A and B are shown apart, each in its own frame.
Chain A
Amino acid sequence: MNPLVAVQGLAVARGGLRALEGVSFTLSAGQALVLRGPNGIGKTTLLRCLAGLQPVIEGDIAAAPESHAYAGHLDGLKPALTVTENLRFWASVFGQGGVGDAIARMNLGPLAARPAHMLSAGQKRRLGLARLLVTGRPVWLLDEPTVSLDSASVALFADVLRGHLAAGGAAVIATHIDLGLPEAQLLDLAPFRAGPTRRGTRAAGFNEAFA
């Protein structure tokens, strides 16, 4: 089977400094990859690189175009819009249909008509994660998806994630807590930490000065 994502010798930089070097992995349908590593090692940078938000310094990312859905630290919610309006906006941006299924699966039904500014932090996160379900994209790039979720919601999200994988999706997850996905592969990023700053590796090019 063709992998959904194949990463070869990837180097990423944050603020003009290389964070990670030589990262390689492949991800096929139905697989999840959990990124581990201490704070500041470059998990977020790696995910943003995979999402196409940051330039690749070195190496190669092979993935079908427009196959990924990114969920970062921020949920991208508009406080003045209701839960349903927020989701419906993203559904139409990604050319998908109804949002009822996503609302039900993330247990947002009782909150559907509530403006997003009246949600708690955990409820906002659940709404942010429900957005993934309306993108219809196979590869989910998740940056700390369980922040501010209670344990019931973490279990709920793990179920949703498992459903996504069973339906032929894949996920790259940066997280510090155990999602209850024993089948997920672990990738510890510590060995890929970029070496001590050498001349020539410091600035990754003119454009990076503006990064």
Chain B
Amino acid sequence: MIALLMRDLRLATRAGGGFGLALAFFLIVVSLVPFGIGPQGGTLSLIAPGILWVGALLSCLLSLDRIFALDHEDGSLDLIATSPLPLEGVVAIKSLAHWLTTGLPLVLAAPVFGLLLHLPGQAYGTLMLSLLIGTPALSMLGAFGAAVTVGLRRGGLLLSLLVLPLYIPTLIFGAEAVRRSVAGGAIATPLVFQAAITLGVLALVPFAAAGALRINLR
């Protein structure tokens, strides 16, 4: 298991691994918004929570199809499936590797992006906290989508269509937490809901994704 995690991390950070891609995409989305909306601080800080969360969703989506597609193309997935590793564990580990290379950098870089959107100072902590709670669910749901579409030619678009609706609850509570913190309200309720969604996803999705993989490997 640890070998698989180390291998995925190593592959992601080597040339062509796509590490940093999500971060750069997030940066571009966030810096495009002021061009489109106009530079008025009031408007920007009003929409900043929503934009930041939607941006995080989209940049997470960018690298999802790599989770299983590359391993399927070069035959590793067949070999992993016949190895002693349980497929459920493989799904969990691969999502973890995806989160470490995509979600975690987003969490850490979020304050910089908040700055670009005039996010009020008191909301930075909440932004990072809500991303930290929410992004693991994004990676895990994405792994499910990747497992369902593995083996399909150009399954990337279908993957986006499948996965984005599943991201809605996380988006709602994540953006709500940041919005409340901008307005000075209590943030506990949306964060607790978000944590519940993430925990539920982490507990259930590996089994669904492993089932999808088994069917797709036939």
Partner-B contacts on A (CB < 8 A): 51-55, 66, 68-70, 72-81, 85, 88-90, 92-95, 131, 135, 207, 210-211
Task: Kindly provide the distance from the CB of A148 to the nearest chain B CB, expressed in whole angstroms.
Answer: 14
B17 sits at the interface (CB 8 A) = yes
CA distance A32 to B79 in the complex (A): 21
Q: Is the CB of B11 within 8 A of A80?
A: yes
- A52, A72, A93: the one contacting B4 at CB < 8 Å is A93
- Residues of B within 8 Å of A88, CB to CB, are 3
- Residues of A within 8 Å of B79, CB to CB, are 70, 72, 76, 90, 131
When A66-B84, A89-B7, A92-B3 are in contact, do A77 and B74 touch as well, CB less than 8 Å?
Answer: yes
**Inter-chain CB contacts under 8 Å: number:** 74
Q: Is the CB of B82 within 8 A of A78?
A: no
Interface of B is mostly: helix
B16 sits at the interface (CB 8 A) = yes
Q: Is the CB of A80 within 8 A of B80?
A: no
Contacts A72-B79, A135-B83, A211-B218 supplied; 7 other A-B pairs, CB < 8 Å: A51-B82, A73-B75, A81-B10, A90-B83, A93-B83, A93-B84, A94-B84
B78 sits at the interface (CB 8 A) = yes
Ordered by A's residue number, 20 sampled pairs between the chains whose C-beta atoms are within 8 Å are A51-B78, A53-B78, A53-B81, A53-B218, A54-B218, A55-B218, A66-B84, A69-B82, A70-B78, A70-B82, A72-B75, A73-B75, A74-B73, A76-B74, A77-B76, A78-B76, A92-B2, A92-B3, A131-B79, A210-B215
Q: Is the CB of B76 within 8 A of A93?
A: no
B108 sits at the interface (CB 8 A) = no
Query: Which of A74, A135, A207 gathers the greatest number of chain B CB atoms within 10 Å?
Result: A74
**Beta-carbon nearest neighbor of A15 in chain B:** B218
- Residues of B within 8 Å of A72, CB to CB, are 75, 78-79
